[in-house]
Amino acid sequence: MSDVVKIATRESYGNALAELGDKYENLYVLDADLAAATKTGIFKKKFPDRFFDCGIAEANMMGVAAGLAATGKIPFASSFAMFAAGRAFEIVRNSIGYPHLNVKIGATHAGISVGEDGATHQCNEDIALMRTIPGMTIINPADDVEARAAVAAAVEYVGPVYMRFGRLAVPVFNDKDSYKFELGKGIQLRQGSDITIIATGLMVNEALIAADTLKEQGISARVINIHTIKPIDREIIAKAAAETKLIVTVEEHSIIGGLGSAVTEVVCEECPCKVVRIGVNDEFGCSGPAVELLKKFGLSSDNIIKTVKQLLGK
């Protein structure tokens, strides 16, 4: 058996931008002195005249991106999620969201898996923040194939988009030849009738591992990948709620305001059922190796399995 290929979605982001730069001459990339880390340096090397380093001034960078969008350009403003969503929130809200400008925000190094950078850089609130901005589209891809497709879809979409990418290399499980990305559409990856596991980002692979293990133990778990958290696929969630009656959401984000909140909102309105949220509880992260931190905070297939079995009384 060949080894599983692992690629960080921030790498996917940088490579996708460089590829799309050939097709879209009005695509510009901005960074906040982090091009090596966000991987926008790949685009810079290929298209130096369309790359701008705005320095450690994320709010100003978002303002520049807004200006470029107002002149018909397609700007991708890039930084760590903590700075892109956190530090620059007011500018994103008022200068990009309010006029509904065609700005794409590439937020890398999101979540606990930032690892040794610690709590100050482990942004577990960015999805919650971006969800409050009217008209903001939010994408959280699960692997390299999905991340590249997401960037391509963001270019075509007219309006503000927030894309969330990770630092940690994660398994590539989607087939690049058959995968199809649709904004606002969830993807059912496993059939199941006992319970539904709804996951996003790097937790999708963990959900798949959990479902396959549960199947060996006689438990049928449906797995749904929600790559677009806003607008969310209400139909696929409501169908799962009606058919399995139990839902577990899994995300590398706070359980407050992220995927879990979005799913429970849909369930309450469409087809009420029990929903249990797995994510970062109401607490800050801490420094440590990414893989160990994911386990520490319960963001693992083992914890998904444990939670499902408890819910089913097995």
Q: Which residues are catalytic?
A: 58
Question: Cα 265 vs. chain centroid, distance in angstroms?
Answer: 19
Please list, in sequence order, all residues whose beta carbon lies within 8 angstroms of the beta carbon of residue 71, skipping any fewer than 6 positions away: none
**Is 158 exposed, middle or buried (CB count within 10 Å of its CB: 0-12, 13-18, 19+)?**
exposed
Q: In angstroms, how far is the first alpha carbon of the chain from the final one?
A: 33
* Beta bridge pairs of residue 275: 247
CA gap 132, 92 in Å, rounded: 11
Q: How many CB atoms lie under 10 A from the CB of residue 211?
A: 26
Contacts 24+ apart (CB under 8 A), 149-157: 149/179, 149/180, 149/181, 150/181, 150/227, 151/12, 151/13, 151/16, 151/17, 151/20, 151/106, 152/16, 152/20, 152/181, 153/181, 153/182, 153/183, 154/104, 155/20, 155/24, 155/27, 155/74, 155/104, 157/183
CA gap 41, 83 in Å, rounded: 18
The amino acid sitting at 140 is: N
